[in-house]
Amino acid sequence: MGEIHLISNGKWSLHEFADVASNCITEIDYVHLREKNRTDEELETGVDHLINAGIPTSKIMINDRVSVASHKQVRGVQLAYHSLDVKTVRQHYPDLRIGRSVHSVVEAKKAEQDGADYVLYGHIFKSNSKPGLKPRGLENLKNLIEQVSIPVIAIGGITPHNANKVMECGAHGIAVMSGILESENPKKVTQHYRGGVSR
């Protein structure tokens, strides 16, 4: 059974995002707060919204802000290229689940060596959030998966109709943003995603 990671889009209020995430949470493994323009205090309030909406801390991941993830005692942190390095986070926050966003085999291998629990790789398919950028595609995804032993979560343009192709490459799961958040019926779409990642 593949994982589904729901990622916030940085556009909605965190209260709105919590409401949608709560409605879909039975089908979602992890909820990521990816809010580059918000303060730590705002992010902590966002975590409170998620918890109050019934989402357990064991399913909450914070992008980049390691101190927020640690202070709110959520499951983990998703590190970007500009974040603290994996090795430092592992040393100082041993209880956090650490994901690292990567764009190449070299980056994925480095993340694995430094102690990441998984890597997030993309974008796989054409994505509205990456206009004009060529997608990396399924062949590159499969190649990267074969080069590392830690789980690989795929992101970028993944729909309920192509999720199975991602899983056939050996991915551990998928990460979705607009595919769920911008749908007319997020809960129903998430159920379709669940069918796509079920093996």
Burial class (CB in 10 A: 0-12, 13-18, 19+), 191: middle
Which domain CATH number covers 34? 3.20.20.70
Report the pLDDT value the prediction gives residue 130, as an integer from 0 to 100: 66
The residue among 113, 189, 192, 197 whose CA lies nearest residue 153 is 197
Report the pLDDT value the prediction gives residue 199, as an integer from 0 to 100: 63
Q: Could you tell me the pTM of the whole model?
A: 0.97
pLDDT in tens, 99-126: 999 999 999 999 999 999 999 999 999 8
Catalytic: which of 15, 123, 172, 192?
123
Contact 53, 24 (CB under 8 A): no
Among the ranges given (4-8, 16-20, 121-125, 126-130), the one the predictor scored with the smallest mean pLDDT: 126-130
Report the pLDDT value the prediction gives residue 133, as an integer from 0 to 100: 82
**pLDDT grade, residue 4 (50/70/90)?**
very high
Contact 75, 30 (CB under 8 A): yes
Specify the number of domains making up the chain.
1
Q: Which domain holds residue 180?
A: 3-197
SS3 53: coil
- Give yes or no: 123 in active site: yes
Contact 125, 158 (CB under 8 A): yes
What residue spans of 25-85 are helical by DSSP H?
Answer: 40-52, 66-71
